[in-house]
């Protein structure tokens, strides 16, 4: 399989889920290095500050030198240029994700002609999973073990004071 040097996987990751982690691990089949880019995205009113989200992700992948985690509050194509990355990875869970992702991919290509998008679907057990669902479960004192890693579960419990 032909591998590119670097890819970038952007998202809000508020919080990162096992579905996101699945996409990260599968992305490494295509790239020698993967940059997980954590978006500030104040429009979504995140539960966690960008620094907290970066820390959680760094904890998860602390033993993997092929993964770098950065926070950003700029256009993705500008960050990609700065980091010399030409391929963005995006996860598609359902048909409902496709329209938005297509719009973003085409817009990014207009902003940067050499920028490509690679769409990956998560493994079947994570197709339904989203950060919003995880936060809802956490807010109602539900079992998070199937959806997030232990460090993320602890931070969610701390946020909801469990």
Note the pLDDT of residue 78: 94
Which pLDDT band holds residue 70 (cuts at 50, 70, 90)?
very high
44 carries an active-site annotation: yes
What is the per-residue pLDDT across 8-57, written as a single tens digit (0 to 9) for each? 999 999 999 999 999 999 999 999 999 999 999 777 789 999 999 999 99
93 carries an active-site annotation: yes
Note the pLDDT of residue 153: 97
From the list 6, 20, 90, 135, the catalytic residue is: 20
What is the per-residue pLDDT across 90-140, written as a single tens digit (0 to 9) for each? 988 766 677 777 788 888 888 878 888 999 988 999 988 999 999 999 999
| CATH architecture of the domain with residue range 4-159 | 3-Layer(aba) Sandwich (3.40)
What is the per-residue pLDDT across 20-34, written as a single tens digit (0 to 9) for each? 999 999 999 999 999
Which pLDDT band holds residue 3 (cuts at 50, 70, 90)?
low
Question: Domain-by-domain residue ranges, the chain?
Answer: 4-159
3 carries an active-site annotation: no
Note the pLDDT of residue 105: 82
Rounded Cα gap, residues 8 and 78, in angstroms: 12
Note the pLDDT of residue 134: 96
From the list 44, 82, 100, 162, the catalytic residue is: 44
Question: Which of these, 100, 82, 87, 81, lies nearest to 8 by C-alpha position?
Answer: 87
Alpha-carbon distances, residue 145 vs 13, 19, 57, 153 (angstroms): 17, 13, 16, 7
């Amino acid at each position: 399989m032909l591998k590119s040097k670097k890819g970038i996987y952007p998202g809000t990751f508020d919080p990162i889920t096992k579905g996101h982690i699945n996409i990260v691990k599968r992305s490494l089949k295509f790239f020698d290095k993967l940059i997980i880019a954590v978006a500030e995205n104040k429009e979504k009113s995140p539960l966690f500050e960008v620094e907290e989200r970066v820390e959680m992700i760094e904890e998860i992948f602390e033993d993997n030198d092929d993964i770098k985690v950065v926070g950003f509050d700029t256009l993705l194509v500008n960050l990609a240029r700065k980091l010399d990355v030409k391929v963005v990875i995006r996860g598609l869970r359902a048909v409902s994700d496709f329209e938005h992702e297509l719009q973003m991919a085409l817009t990014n290509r207009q902003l940067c002609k050499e920028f490509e998008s690679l769409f990956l679907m998560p493994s079947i057990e994570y197709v339904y999973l989203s950060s919003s669902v995880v936060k809802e479960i956490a807010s109602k004192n539900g079992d998070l073990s199937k959806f997030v890693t232990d460090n993320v579960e602890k931070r969610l419990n701390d946020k909801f004071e469990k």
